[in-house]
Amino acid sequence: MLELGDVLSIALPAIRHLQYNNPSAEIVCLTYAKGQEIIQAGSPNIKVICLPLGHWPDNIVQAMETFLGLAEEVVEQAFDRIINLDTAFMPCFLSRFLKDAGEPVSGNYLNLSVQDLLQKLQNQTLEADYVNDSENFMNSTFFGMSRLYSRWWEEQALPENGYAEFYLKSCCGFTDIDFDLSIKSSSVAIKSHSRKTVAMATHDPSSKLMLTHVQKSLSEHGVDTVWLDSSLPIVDSLQKLSGSNLLVSTPGAEIWFANAVDCPTLLICGDLDPRFLMPNYATERFVTPKSSDLVESIMSIFSGNADE
């Protein structure tokens, strides 16, 4: 619900998998804020229940009240099956409430009953470590969910699409899923053959400063640049990426956006193991690259002389 990268890389392929295996079923997706834009762009025939932006309070008691309201809306629709793929606390709270109410819930849910949770809140014995760590608060009907906490990225056989594919196939048991997160659009921009275009994205101020220097140097090499702005509609980012020859980004949802429109990616890793996201290219872990080195890497990619 909350992480846009997960909506695109987990929810969308799962929806398509469920559609393929249940062609006559009506499928409804519950998401949050801009998640609705992603689902509507990728599966326009899917009905969406959307918790609007700003309606997910930080205060746990207020958030519980909001999600109990969502539960009423879900119960009213009398679903034959309810699947929670989310691992965050509040979606698991919602699925636990629905499960205790006799609804046909599968997937992830809270390992405390709502009554026990309320008792802990009243007694002020609910610990922050419990709320903030899914390994502490989550149960699942998916038999493979324990693998979520393994060091799966160190295995020899890695999924082509990184964490999202591992999660759906190994944790959720969607072993035969055709991992499809592509988004097609009639308004897709056409890549220029005469000039290369690099899209840039980061939510880190220091990386933004470094990429600004990269932008200036690329301009001197005859390369255009565009910035992805998270405040704009999702389709805006998708269109910019579909018209770009490369995305240069720190870890974030933008990597998945680029995958959705077949735009190659260069990940500025930081301390993230690049096997989580499986980009086309990546900088070294734990090393902040110099802007000059990054420009050299980008030009090497365009000349076909770069190593992954």
Residue 2 pLDDT greater than 80, yes or no? yes
Q: What is the mean pLDDT of residues 2-7?
A: 94
Q: What is the mean pLDDT of residues 271-300?
A: 93
Evaluate whether 263 touches 15 at the Cβ level (below 8 Å): no
Tokens 């009907």, residue located: 141
205-220 helix and 291-303 helix, angle to the nearest 10 degrees: 50
Q: What tokens does 158 get?
A: 């890695």
Query: Which pLDDT tens digit goes with each residue over 130-146?
Result: 999 999 999 999 999 99
Least Cα distance to 39 among 183, 186, 250, 230 occurs for 183
Percentage, residues of the chain above pLDDT 70? 96
pLDDT at 307: 67
Write the single-letter amino acid at 93: F
Query: Which pLDDT tens digit goes with each residue over 290-302?
Result: 999 999 999 999 9
pLDDT classification of 75: cutoffs 50, 70, 90: very high
User: In 3-state terms, what secondary structure has residue 105?
Assistant: strand
pLDDT at 213: 95
Query: Which pLDDT tens digit goes with each residue over 189-222?
Result: 555 557 899 999 999 998 999 999 999 999 999 9
For the chain, where are the E strands, in sequence order? 28-32, 47-51, 82-84, 105-110, 138-140, 197-201, 224-227, 246-249, 265-267, 281-282
pLDDT at 187: 47
Percentage, residues of the chain above pLDDT 90? 88
pLDDT classification of 156: cutoffs 50, 70, 90: confident
Q: What tokens does 222 get?
A: 């005859």
pTM of the model: 0.93
- Report the distance separating Cα 91 and Cα 155, nearest Å: 30
Question: What residues contact residue 154 under an 8 Å CB cut-off, 6+ apart?
Answer: none
Evaluate whether 12 touches 6 at the Cβ level (below 8 Å): no
